[in-house]
Structure 1
Amino acid sequence: MNRLQAILLALSLAPAAAFAQNQDAGLGLDLSSGDANKPQEETETAAEPPAEEPPPLTTAEAPPAEPLTPAERDVTLDDRVKSVQRKVYLKKGRFELTPLVTLSVNDPYYTKLGAGVRGAYYLADTLAVSARFSAMQVLPEDDVRIAKRTFQSRIFYSVPQWSAMGDVEWSPLYGKVAFLNDILHFDAYLLGGMGVVNTEMSSAETTDGGRRGPSLAADLGLGIRFVARDYLAVNVALINTSYVDQPLNTSKGATQNLMTLNAGISFFFPMKSTGREAE
């Protein structure tokens, strides 16, 4: 019986010894988080956390930008395109002198042709006060001779001799136009004012033995001015002058509307525009 118990005891201890031997040889079950098929150094390296990147520089820590040199600054300002350009042709504080040629456009029987001169002072770029003096001559058209010979008609007409008007001019529009490979600046204006018109009947005697004298008149018109140089411009205006006159051989006065086309060359003083550097 002792021998049998010794054999059974040996058989029962054999598996336990084998399990302990395998564990000593590194063949046991490894429940760690590493990969069992990789070496121990690789497992430890993969488990290490990644190195942290240095934080970016803040605005305060960033190096300041190098300042522009004066030459670079001038080039940058000159090359910049402005959405709204400044006016090149300035008139404030300047005087304008304009010789004019005058031609009537609203009388089918008589043409009023004359010459005049206009002077204006600009209180602002868009506002001026002006004075205009015109002398004119009345010339009959062919329709007058036809009416008198064929129809024995009598035409009563006013004969203006000269006029002196004072106006206020307002220029709300300013722009540029291309003409013959050049850029012309222009401004459009409205005008209105009052003055006197001397006619053929102004020297006639009244019932009390006096003279009639010039007739009170009012101006209303529009014009446009094309600037060729700082000191030179082409000025064209359409002006209606209204006055009351009693034509010859009539007994009643009537309102006369003298619409004239006035064209001339304007000279400006001082001769240099202070806005030319804005071009």
Structure 2
Amino acid sequence: MKWTLRLLLALCLVVPALGHAQSSNEEEEAGDVSEVDKDRLGPLRERVRPVSGHLFLKKGRFEFSPSATLSLRDAFFSKYIFGGSLTYHPLETLGVGLRLGYALNSVAGAAQICTFTDGTDGNSTRGCKSPTMNELDGQAPGQLKLLAGADVQWAPIYGKLSLLAEKFVSFDLYGIAGASLVQYRGPDLANTDSAVAKSYMTPGGNVGVGARFFFNRWVTLRTEVRDLIYVEKSRTSDNYLRNQLLFELGVSFFFFNGSES
């Protein structure tokens, strides 16, 4: 009986030791599994794929982008500019391009014409109304007609957005600066009739920021916010500086130049 008890006690001590030794051998063969490896081998591995590299490349490609532009915070005219741009990308982060646009103007909702009338009792009254396009034509600043320019783009930021942890949308962010040629309507300074207007051409510049969201290797959605800076003439002074904030939305089509396959 004593020998039986001793044998059972020995087996109880040996079996856990053997199990521990076997576990140690498996860990030595498999190596230490870190937290990063656990994530890599876990169930999220198939759901969230690793993100690396540039899915979309611009170097050596032309970008043609028709667009529509809306003026922001304009006191007299709401401008809708339709046009496009053609950009060449000699480097992945650098682009040089030309743009052209034609502007349609409408009277801004905030525009008002106010008149003052002196009464017989010495009191003056004021009346305000929304102006017509004929009343503002050439008399109010900011009436754009044509825009042309040459720009330089610098795109240092490339990234990817996760959509519900299933798909990724590639994008880049860029800055833009360039010279502009602006045609606008203003008063005819050579005519004594203050209601006569004419078109003027003047140089200017623009600076802004933009973003592209890539649908595939050939098509992107493009947005920009730019500040157009130029000088207008008026009857009260020789000229004054204009700043016009513009929001642009376009679709870009990328294609290789003739030397690329």
Q: TM-score, normalised by structure 1?
A: 0.59
Partner of 2:243: 257
Task: Determine whether 1:120 maps to 2:87.
Answer: yes
How many angstroms apart in 1 are the aligned matches of 2:162 and 2:87? 27
How many angstroms apart in 2 are the aligned matches of 1:164 and 1:206? 26
How many angstroms apart in 1 are the aligned matches of 2:242 and 2:85? 23
Partner of 1:231: 218
1:87 positional shift: 1.6
Partner of 2:254: 268
Which residues of structure 1 form unaligned runs of 5+?
1-82, 275-279
Q: Read off the aligned partner of 2:94 and give its amino acid letter.
A: L
1:231-252 CA-to-partner distances (Å, cap 9, x unmatched) read: 00000000111000114x5443
2:73 is paired with a residue of what secondary structure? coil
Partner residue of 2:96 out of 118, 124, 129: 129
How many angstroms apart in 1 are the aligned matches of 2:55 and 2:113? 54
How many angstroms apart in 2 are the aligned matches of 1:139 and 1:84? 47
1:113 is paired with a residue of what secondary structure? strand
Partner residue of 1:186 out of 171, 174, 181: 171
Q: Which moves more between the two structures, 135-144 or 152-161?
A: 152-161
Identical residues among aligned pairs (%):
27
1:146 positional shift: 6.3
1:176-221 CA-to-partner distances (Å, cap 9, x unmatched) read: 012374311100000101021011139x5769xxx98510110100
How many angstroms apart in 1 are the aligned matches of 2:244 and 2:163? 33
Partner residue of 1:150 out of 107, 116, 127: 127
How many angstroms apart in 1 are the aligned matches of 2:249 and 2:176? 15
Q: TM-score, normalised by structure 2?
A: 0.63
Partner of 1:106: 73
Q: 1:122 to 1:86 in 2, by over 3 A?
A: same
1:143 is paired with a residue of what secondary structure? coil
Query: What is the 5 A alignment of 1:62-211?
Result: 85-145=52-112, 147=114, 150-151=127-128, 156-179=140-163, 181-201=166-186, 204=188
1:103 is paired with a residue of what secondary structure? strand
Q: 1:182 to 1:84 in 2, by over 3 A?
A: closer
Query: What is the 5 A alignment of 1:214-229?
Result: 214-229=201-216
1:253 positional shift: 1.2
Tell me if structure 1 keeps the 8 A contact 2:185–2:199: no
How many angstroms apart in 1 are the aligned matches of 2:113 and 2:202? 31
Q: Read off the aligned partner of 1:268 and give its amino acid letter.
A: F
Partner of 2:31: none
1:150 positional shift: 2.9
Which residues of structure 2 form unaligned runs of 5+?
1-49, 116-125, 192-197
Higher strand share: 2
How many angstroms apart in 2 are the aligned matches of 1:217 and 1:196? 6
How many angstroms apart in 1 are the aligned matches of 2:226 and 2:114? 29
Q: Read off the aligned partner of 1:188 and give its amino acid letter.
A: L
Partner of 1:15: none
Q: Read off the aligned partner of 1:162 and give its amino acid letter.
A: L
Query: What is the 5 A alignment of 1:11-50?
Result: none
How many angstroms apart in 1 are the aligned matches of 2:73 and 2:236? 22
2:111 is paired with a residue of what secondary structure? helix
Over the residues paired in the alignment, what is the CA RMSD in angstroms?
3.2
Partner residue of 2:230 out of 210, 220, 243: 243
- Larger gyration radius, structure 1 or structure 2: 1
Q: 1:224 to 1:151 in 2, by over 3 A?
A: same
1:147 positional shift: 4.7
